[in-house]
Chain A
Amino acid sequence: MKSAVIVFPGSNRDGDVMRALRQAGSQVEKVWHAETELPKGTDLVVLPGGFSYGDYLRCGAIAGRATVMDAVRAHAARGGLVLGICNGFQILCESGLLPGILMRNANLKFICHRQFLRVERNDTAFTRAYAKGQAIDVCVAHGEGNYTADTETLKRLESEGLVAFRYSDTNGHVTPDANRNGSMNSIAGIYSDKLNVLGMMPHPENLIEDLVGGTDGRGLFKSLVSSFAKAA
């Protein structure tokens, strides 16, 4: 599998996600935001975490309009896989690839902590390696992760099964306490209609080794790589 990690000025978890992709067996290439095309044969586009353009104006707003995003949109329209993590999720929302928006955390503070997520479905390219309903231990690190959408959108996401992850306790129970940033319906990540674009606030790429906290994040990258092994 071949992944393209897009680097915007201010991206800062590009290295972390590249490490996770490589560990799972993907080839990885960095792509500068000013490019107009993706590398040939790109299977997966990753928009990494960070503070693109300082997150000035609105998180992800300026990056969402970068040159390379046209190529990303075209890739998604062809059914190609796109993964946006944290700032990447914000960029996906700002660029129109995913609905809704990430607002300031409910306590108005940046929060960095370990967090369990409930995997809502395991029949997508991103989550095959997990069980449905499994609680996975990852971490969050964001100031604006409060997922907000209008009632219509929310209804559609729920009824079409487009919610990918919810903040949960260790047992996979979705509780108010587990939803520290105040997201609607405890949403931590969502899919596009065709399930080929995933945006999520938490960082699976930071939990891929026992030494630094655990390996629950690996499943996501393993799922991606294995879906290509199957396809090929």
Chain B
Amino acid sequence: MIRNDVAITPELVKEHGLKPDEYERFVKLIGRTPTITELGIVSAMWNEHCSYKSSRIHLRGLPTQAPWVIQGPGENAGVIDIGDGLACIFKMESHNHPSFIEPYQGATTGVGGILRDVFTMGARPIAALNFLRFGEPDHPKTRHLVSGVVAGIGGYGNSFGVPTVGGSVGFHPRYNGNILVNAMAVGLARTDEIFYAAATGVGNPIVYLGSKTGRDGIHGATMASAEFDDASEEKRPTVQVGDPFAEKLLLEACLELMKSGAVIAIQDMGAAGLTCSAVEMGAKGNLGVELDLDKVPTREEGMTAYEMMLSESQERMLMVLKPGMEKEAEAIFHKWGLDFAIIGKTTDTLRFVVKHHGEVMADLPIKELGDEAPLYDRPHLANTHQPTIAADTVKPPVSHAEALVKLVGSPDQCSKRWVWEQYDHLILGNTVQVPGGDAAVVRVEDGPKGLAMTTDVTPRYCEADPVEGGKQAVAEAWRNITAVGGLPLAITDNLNFGNPERPEVMGQFVGCLRGISEACRALDFPVVSGNVSLYNETNGQGILPTPAIGGVGVLDDVTVNASVAFKREEDALILIGETEGWLGQSIYLRDICGREEGAPPPVDLVAEKRNGDFVRQLIRSGQVDTVHDLSDGGLALALAEMTMASKIGAVVASAPEDLALHAFLFGEDQARYLLAVNPDEAADILYEAAEIGVPAMVVGVTGGDSLILPGGEAISIETLKAAHESWLPDYMAGKA
């Protein structure tokens, strides 16, 4: 058993991840040597994950305001007003490291954690998304990781009962040692029934709800206990196991309790469990907190204060209840078969006091635990700019058709059906657009509103130019929402980077954030929640900078939306946006020419907004129902995807004369959309576009059973589909 009077040695401090000066700072703050429990508490509060010590000063620059923002970053999740008294509550979060160690459980607990963040605020989750990056397909671990992560995401979401409607899957050697598993949840609540973490009122009961506490995920403790444990036991795994069943019960019980009016404040126990949740509730409400650990429901015997404070057991909540409502609350929780225990109270001392067996195990200033956490402005190096690659220096393919078939069947561009068929994407009966399109579209309750949502970033752009890459990530999310007819409202971000102590990595971080901020400002697309995951690095090799953006938008009438599938033969194909044929950092350059280089396409935010607003208005007015935004693989890939989504082919008769064909087809210029419109409408649309300076041109026509490229090369829909649908299942079956 870990006693509380353990001598605090420099080794112990180091094992808790505190730098000597950070420890000194803590000792000065409390005016004495901490107890082991206190050391555990501060190590949890001051680690990168909880304190954001390397990122905080940079995050301050993000735009977080808009008239429709009800709650920006800082709460469990962001909240936006979507009209009619309804709020959309959403957030994205990473579970990268746990998923690499144990892909199934790592992914389940990631999904569980983000769902909890959303329903903690009083929202019922209505959709989930995920953003996944794995190492190169040939890496010996990749298949196992893909299989486990996907099964885990499905295993949790399916059982919990939320449709998983979208996401992104990609492969790159830079993720060989650090995969990315980012999960996003979107929920719905009434704007006047949102719950927050700040406690109010002195002497109010603090209640523990949900599953029991075990020794799950106590990282420091495993090391510490090797020294202090007399009983020699097997080395405990630090992996947490998710229990979606318990979470579903917790959801129902929490929502029922919230309706009863008994809840003053609520906070889920996520990272650093009881410590973080209790400190946050107190500190945000300017109150002290006193906990009696004898009351905490435990799953294992002989748990110490240290262990209880650091346990990351899942499916648990902390609440401050209205006094006098304890009985009612308890009845609700027992009905759902969950634990309920009053484990403490709010105080007016501004101290965080933890008692166990009648002894004080920790007594710390509650506000300073958060406010006085270290804050670093780490040195950052701006990235050297990569040269612009002129299209005429890039080799054209022997056959454009073959190049396209190769791309649609490549690991990154192939169909991810194998993944999303393992997710229940239809439950709740509101999924209007299933995975495979630009953004998922989900009806809000019984309509008429809908929500559009997507997760995006192009890491190779971010690596080549963090600022442009950051902008592009936001612009692409905005564009995907626009392409289905949604009005983009706000984003959540999940900033996955390498080791912030390396100036190049910090430079990527700062650059990406600058780009994100610029784009969010220009597009009126504020950040309302997010997550930072640093130290994604193995053997000195960091991941590609990957600030995943989760965007949400609203459709006032969800029946008026656009999708990528061609609807009719003989529709005119209109390309919106300027096409220069930008091949630097393109998928063509990487996957056909084997060159991952050059500057990424620049993002013109004014053009983005103008072009996107134009397209959205066409959708909303009912003039256009078939839209795809252009991103990886450019025009050719968009055409192929639109063809494959229907059973209708297309003919692109010619390319502009001043443009090499491969640059026209595969260039990744930004701010572009491809529309398929009734030929009678085409002239009007071109005229309207010209009026407001939106570049638009007819590039082809729908029809037939193949895609015919300029010059006459034809690819049958079947050929495209076979390539597109087969790579991932074959790979997972060990055949590719």
Contact = CB atoms under 8 A, between A and B. Distances in A.
Whether A and B touch directly in their complex, counting CB atoms under 8 A apart, is answered as yes
Interface of A: 9-10, 12-13, 15-16, 19, 49-51, 53-56, 109-113, 139, 141, 143, 203, 205-206, 208-209, 211-213
Contact of A54 (B159, B421, B424, B428): B159
A225 B181 CA distance: 46
Contacts of B420: 112
Given A110-B422, A112-B422, A212-B432, A141 B427 contact: yes
A40 B513 CA distance: 62
Given A10-B248, A12-B248, A113-B421, A51 B432 contact: no
B161 A50 contact: yes
Interface of B: 151, 154-155, 158-161, 243-246, 248-249, 336-337, 420-432, 443, 447, 558-559
A225 to B, nearest CB: 18
Given A110-B154, A112-B422, A211-B558, A55 B159 contact: yes
B315 to A, nearest CB: 11
B559 A211 contact: yes
Nearest to B161: A12
A109 B420 CA distance: 11
Nearest to B425: A112
B428 A10 contact: no
B733 to A, nearest CB: 10
A51 B245 contact: yes
Contacts of A212: 426, 429-432, 443
- The interface centre, meaning the residue of B246, B249, B421, B423 with most chain A CB atoms within 10 A of its CB, is B421
B159 A10 contact: yes
A16 B163 CA distance: 12
Contact of A110 (B244, B424, B559): B424
15 contacts: A9-B248, A10-B245, A10-B249, A12-B248, A12-B427, A49-B427, A51-B161, A51-B245, A51-B248, A109-B151, A112-B426, A141-B158, A141-B427, A206-B429, A211-B558
B421 A56 contact: no
Contacts of A113: 421
Contacts of A112: 158, 420-426
B337 to A, nearest CB: 6
A139 B245 contact: no
Contacts of A15: 428
B611 to A, nearest CB: 28
A111 B249 contact: no
Contacts of B558: 211
Contact of B244 (A54, A209, A211): A54
A110 B245 contact: no
Contact of B429 (A10, A16, A110): A16
Contacts of A53: 245
A211 B558 CA distance: 9
B559 A9 contact: no
Given A9-B337, A54-B244, A110-B422, 11 more contacts: A10-B159, A10-B245, A12-B427, A54-B245, A111-B421, A112-B424, A112-B426, A206-B429, A211-B432, A211-B443, A212-B432
Contacts of A50: 161
Given A13-B161, A211-B432, A51 B244 contact: yes
Given A110-B422, A211-B559, A19 B158 contact: no
Question: 4 smallest A-B Cβ distances: which pairs?
Answer: A12-B161, A54-B245, A51-B159, A141-B424
A109 B424 CA distance: 12
Contacts of A209: 429
Nearest to B418: A109
A206 B421 CA distance: 16
A12 B126 CA distance: 12
- The interface centre, meaning the residue of A12, A141, A205 with most chain B CB atoms within 10 A of its CB, is A12
- The interface centre, meaning the residue of B160, B244, B427, B443 with most chain A CB atoms within 10 A of its CB, is B427
A10 B1 CA distance: 37
B158 A51 contact: yes
A206 B426 contact: yes
Contacts of A56: 245
Contacts of B248: 9-10, 12, 51
Given A16-B428, A16-B429, A54-B243, A111 B161 contact: no
Contacts of A51: 158-159, 161, 244-245, 248
Contacts of A54: 159, 243-246
Nearest to A9: B249
A9 B245 contact: yes
A212 B442 CA distance: 9
Given A54-B244, A54-B245, A139 B426 contact: yes
A49 B163 CA distance: 14
Contacts of B427: 12-13, 16, 49, 141, 206
